[in-house]
A and B are shown apart, each in its own frame.
Chain A
Amino acid sequence: MSKHYTAEQYADRCMIIREVQNVVGKVAHCDMLADYDLSPNFWSKAEDICLGVNDGYFKGREAVLGYYAQKLENAKKLTRLVMEKWADHKDVKGKTEAEMFGAGYVKGTDMHTPIIEVAEDMKSAKALWQFQAADTRVTTKGPLSVWKIGYMAADLVEEDGEWKIKNLLYALDIDHPCAEPWTEASKYQDDPEFAAFAIPEPVPNVKAEVYKSYSVDRPYQEPPRMPEPYATLAETFSYGI
């Protein structure tokens, strides 16, 4: 049987669920807009924060901030390369890099299927969403849209009256170019004309196989664990390491 709360407690818990949705939604929007300079604002000030991706973890504050710093540099580099490649294009000519920031990049992200558990002490929350994103950018294969479909999981804590991310995990289930079957090898190959667009993604400081994106020979894989009702963050599992 679920717990019974007072009207004020129900209202408080609804507000926390809304805040959790908003905070992680803001981080997703920063990713969509390449506004990676804003992303750290939504994280806890603690040193032991953690960001997980399919091939490992960015463990610790320095590593997480480093991740966003490199993502921002990557977005700037992509802007510069697009400006060089299409220097004579009417939309590029005469523009500054700042004016063109984000050129060559569009990433629509839809977060849904929320499972949000607020701790009994209301000082932390755990959440799991599915997301569907079409990541479109200029790549070494040329301009390309790639389905990025998977799960976002988060531990959040209240700090000075605001909800902040302590651990965040992106688990990619589908990572395949759009408009072609995922069960077949992609027809898109590297194109020497776009070789300069090789921009490496940040590398986790803790390498691990956290999640495996789809391939026809992938053993069946469970999504990240669902949040469960809990009393305090110390008494439940963590989405970080």
Chain B
Amino acid sequence: MEWKFETRMANGKPYDRYEYDSAIRMKYSTSKPEDFDLETRAWRAYQVEEVKKVLSKRAYLEHANRRAEALDTLWTKERADSATYGRNWGYYVGLDNIRKYYVDGNPFGGAGTDVCHPFTTYKIIIADDNKTAQATWYSIGYEINPALGKDVDCYWDNQRCGADLVYEDGQWKIWHYFAGTDFAVRPGFPYASLRTEETTPCDKQLEKEFGTPDVAFKAYDSFYNYYFYPEITMEHATFADAISNGPEGNPNYKG
């Protein structure tokens, strides 16, 4: 990996461009902005805003406790069978199974419960073929639900997230969604006091809430620094399993 610098032309004027060439970019995309015609470049710029809106609406509908609506309006229909929802302990595969976990097993909605998983620090890339999009982001969220033997308990749930979206009938739809929890601790709990061999105080609750996924394996782990998945979203020519936010893109997946 290295930083490359070059001077390019735009609107008849030269401009300086630094480019971060990663293995993924070099492997999956060789295109440059000027390879797209003006119409397509404008369309692609706007689609980044559209993807932002879809993933923000997902967060909003979850907070609003309208989970069925989130699945029905924001998730893929054409690729329902291969849709995935992943957490630290594995993946639910297929919209029907995702619904069983995400909607039927929803622990929120009672008095004193609350949930917030915002969409922040995002990076969004539209594939060169304009058929899919990828995003990675960080989410400093919180959950307040019946937990740890109490009527309600609250904890920060800090997640590193990734998603693949597909363009269906003129709209972006979520295809693969992954949320890896780094810390789940009660407000005021000092992170630094955790020993590496300990699970964080609320992980057990999150694991119980997630249940037994269709594809169970250690998909995310924050014992030692940040995990290597989901990988930072990079420019790519087309979607490939190797960069998927579904299980196939997870280095721990044994398929």
Listed in ascending order, the chain A residues whose CB lies under 8 Å from chain B are: 1-2, 4-8, 10-11, 13-14, 17, 110, 112-116, 128, 130, 132, 147, 149, 173-174, 176, 178-183, 214-220, 222-223, 226
Contact = CB atoms under 8 A, between A and B. Distances in A.
A4 B46 CA distance: 11
A10 B114 contact: no
Interface in B36-73: 38-39, 41-43, 45-46, 49-50, 52-53, 56-57, 59-60, 63-66
Which of A2, A112, A149 is most buried by chain B, counting CB atoms within 10 A of its CB? Answer: A112
Given A1-B169, A130-B116, A181-B153, A116 B53 contact: yes
A173 B38 contact: no
A215 B112 CA distance: 6
B188 interface: yes
6 contacts: A4-B170, A10-B42, A13-B49, A116-B49, A116-B53, A220-B65
Contacts of B52: 114
B74 to A, nearest CB: 12
Contacts of B246: none
Interface residues of B, number: 45
Given A114-B52, A226-B60, 5 more contacts: A8-B42, A13-B49, A113-B119, A183-B150, A217-B112
Which of B39, B42, B111, B170 is most buried by chain A, counting CB atoms within 10 A of its CB? Answer: B42
Contact of B46 (A14, A112, A128, A178): A14
Contact of A11 (B45, B56, B60): B45
Interface of B: 38-39, 41-43, 45-46, 49-50, 52-53, 56-57, 59-60, 63-66, 108-114, 116, 118-121, 140, 142, 144, 150-154, 169-171, 186-188
Contact of B144 (A110, A180, A214): A214
B60 A214 contact: no
Contacts of A14: 42, 45-46, 49
Given A2-B50, A223-B60, A223-B64, A11 B111 contact: no
Contacts of B39: 6-7
Contact of A2 (B56, B121, B153, B170): B170
B112 A218 contact: yes
A10 B45 CA distance: 8
A4 B140 CA distance: 35
B118 A112 contact: yes
Contacts of A112: 118-121
A132 B140 contact: yes
A207 B14 CA distance: 57
A8 B118 CA distance: 31
